[in-house]
Structure 1
Amino acid sequence: MMSTPYFPIKVFLSHSLSEWEQRKYNCLAQGEIDPIFHYTTAAQSHLWKQLFELYSPFSRENGREFYKNCFKEISQTIPSSFPYEIVSLGCGSGEKDHLLLKELMPSSVDLWWTAVDTSLQLLLEACIHCPLNIEKINPILSDILWEDTLKVLKITNSQKRIFTLFGVLPNIDPFVLFKSLETVLSKEDFLILNAHLAPVKSESQQDYIEGIESILYQYDNKETRLWLTEVLRDWGIENKTELFNISFSMHKNFFRIEATVYWKENGRLVLGQGKELKMVKGSPLRLFFSYRFTPERLEEFFSHWSFRVINRWLFSNKEEGIWLLQRI
């Protein structure tokens, strides 16, 4: 009988019941669901994994090989004479990070992995299949932007650090995210991230719009709807909303795709901690947004922060890219 590995997981207060209830109330009051709530339950994690396998370029069109080749180039670019701590912010199921670790293992002096995610199920999945020995894995269950998490990640030791952001950039305001990253990464730390792209012929506004329209089917489908509305079922409010709608809009020079439902009727919603919320018929409740960048706009964005672009790799279908940055 195979033994089950044991992982001591650090849990931050972003996942405490009182904080959870407060964030839930804030979401509904502001009319926008926090991305953290789409990965809370085992059912949500399962639905997300199915969606990822259907529509992610990583799962299609030799995506895994593309990532492996990129990571091989990265392993030849960074100095190999140091022990490295890989810090995965939003590791999910960890498949991309595992590929990176496998490419770095033969040449690096020593490797440690700190994996941070908001989903317990995905975090455990990532740790169980990690190629490193258990004693070199440090799992953290937390919101990656939680203040206490950021404080812990600021602490450095003798190891050099490589941060990864896979699947995170599309679903967090990039300005908020990079403001936090500047406080956490030390000078010369590396950052590897992927970005979902609108496939464009040029950087013109019209081509950008056409690129967004060409990939809307990846969001306007039954699998995405099932995943994004699971939070409504979990909170017992699915029957109080209607008209699931996919649209896109410009936000700070980037287009983002948004999924929205609307309150079906007027009334009051009773929540935890004795709080109530007024529902107004027809008012929107945004479930989700996903930024779709273009390569040049994204690199222009990077230039405003303390990072330099070392290299980039784009999928042949131009729907995703990988960037290697370094803190300066």
Structure 2
Amino acid sequence: MMSTPYFPVKVFLSHSLSVWEERKYQCLARGEIDSLFHYTTAAQSFLWKQVFERYSPFKKEQGFELYKSCFRQICLCVSSSSPYELISLGCGSGEKDHLFLKELLPSVSDVNWTCVDTSLQLLLEACIHCPLSTEKISPILSDILWEDTLKCLQTPGSKRRIFTLFGVLPNIDPFDLFKSLESVLAPGDFLVLNAHLAPVKSESEEDYLEGIESVLYQYDNEETRLWLTEVLRDWGIENKTELFHISIGMYNKFFRIEATVYWKEKGSIPLGHGKVLNVSKGSPLRLFFSYRFTPERLEDFFSRWPFRIVNRWIFPNQEEGLWFLQRL
């Protein structure tokens, strides 16, 4: 019988039952599902993995090689004589981070991996397939914006630190995200992140919108619909909603793609702990949003924060980009 590695997982209170139920009630009350609720069950993790396998540029041969080339160039910029800690915020199944670690291993004297995710199943998947030995892996089950998680990561140890954000920037308000990153990263820390882009001819709003429309098929498909509506089945409210709809909205000069359903009838929905949600017929419940950026708009956003751009790579189809930043 094959032995199974044991990973002691640190769990923060973002995943306690009381916090979970309160966040569930609050997001339903404001008509917007928190993104973390799309990754919390084994079924959701499986459905997300199907979307990732089919639509992520990383899963295509050219995309994989582009990431590998970018990581190799990043490794040339880091000190080979220093031990490092790679801290992955929202690691998912960890495939990009594993590739990065494989490039780091020959380049630095030592490396440890701290991986944070809201899905226990994906977190364990990331740990099991990590190229590092078990004792060098520190998994944390938490919301990456949870205050206690941020405090835990604020104080640098003896190692130099590289943070990664793969697949996170599109699904969190970028201002909330970078406010948190500003508090966590110490001067000199590195940040590697990817961004989903809208392929554009120019920075005009008309071309930006046209670029967004050209990638709608990546969201308006059966796999994504199954994944995003799983939360409704899990919460027992699927039959109370209807009209799954993909649309485009703009917030703070960035377009984002949104998935929305609508309440079928006026009524009250019991949510446990004595709480009842009153809903109106036809009122929207947004399931999901995904920002699509342009390089210039995104770099203008970066300039508002204490980070410098060390390098960037825009993929040939202009639908994905990778940025290498350093905290000032």
Q: Same fold (TM over 0.5)?
A: yes
Following superposition, the deviation at residue 41 of structure 1 comes to 0.3
Residue 168 (1) aligns with residue 168 (2): yes
Any unmatched runs of 5+ in structure 2? Answer: none
Matching residue's letter, 1:218: Q
Following superposition, the deviation at residue 304 of structure 1 comes to 0.2
Normalising by the residue count of structure 1, what TM-score does the alignment of the two structures yield? 0.99
User: Counterparts of 1:94-243 in structure 2 under 5 Å?
Assistant: 94-243=94-243
2-side partners of 1:321 and 1:81: how far apart? 29
Report the secondary structure of 1:85's partner residue: strand
RMSD: 0.6
1-side partners of 2:111 and 2:147: how far apart? 26
Q: Give CA deviations for 1:134-185 in whole Å, capped at 9, x if unaligned.
A: 0000000000000000000002111000000000000000000000000000
2-side partners of 1:109 and 1:228: how far apart? 42
1-side partners of 2:126 and 2:62: how far apart? 21
Report the secondary structure of 1:20's partner residue: helix
Q: Percent identity at matched positions?
A: 76
User: Counterparts of 1:1-328 in structure 2 under 5 Å?
Assistant: 1-328=1-328
1-side partners of 2:33 and 2:271: how far apart? 15
Following superposition, the deviation at residue 202 of structure 1 comes to 1.2
Report the secondary structure of 1:62's partner residue: helix
Report the secondary structure of 1:269's partner residue: strand
Following superposition, the deviation at residue 65 of structure 1 comes to 0.9
Following superposition, the deviation at residue 239 of structure 1 comes to 0.2
2-side partners of 1:226 and 1:158: how far apart? 45
Report the secondary structure of 1:220's partner residue: coil
Report the secondary structure of 1:278's partner residue: strand
Report the secondary structure of 1:311's partner residue: strand
Following superposition, the deviation at residue 186 of structure 1 comes to 0.2
Q: Give CA deviations for 1:75-134 in whole Å, capped at 9, x if unaligned.
A: 011222211000000000000000000001002011000000000000000000000110
2-side partners of 1:113 and 1:58: how far apart? 21
1-side partners of 2:107 and 2:220: how far apart? 43
1-side partners of 2:65 and 2:217: how far apart? 25
Matching residue's letter, 2:248: F
Following superposition, the deviation at residue 315 of structure 1 comes to 1.1
1-side partners of 2:36 and 2:157: how far apart? 29
Matching residue's letter, 1:93: S
Q: Give CA deviations for 1:284-304 in whole Å, capped at 9, x if unaligned.
A: 000000000000000000000
Report the secondary structure of 1:247's partner residue: strand
2-side partners of 1:61 and 1:124: how far apart? 25
2-side partners of 1:296 and 1:193: how far apart? 16
1-side partners of 2:72 and 2:225: how far apart? 36
Report the secondary structure of 1:167's partner residue: coil
Is the alpha carbon distance of 1:135 and 1:61 closer, same or farther for their aligned partners in structure 2, counting shifts above 3 Å? closer
Matching residue's letter, 1:290: S
Report the secondary structure of 2:323's partner residue: strand
1-side partners of 2:129 and 2:44: how far apart? 20
Any unmatched runs of 5+ in structure 1? Answer: none
Following superposition, the deviation at residue 61 of structure 1 comes to 4.8
Matching residue's letter, 2:104: L
2-side partners of 1:176 and 1:120: how far apart? 24
Matching residue's letter, 2:101: L
1-side partners of 2:132 and 2:60: how far apart? 26
Matched residue count:
328
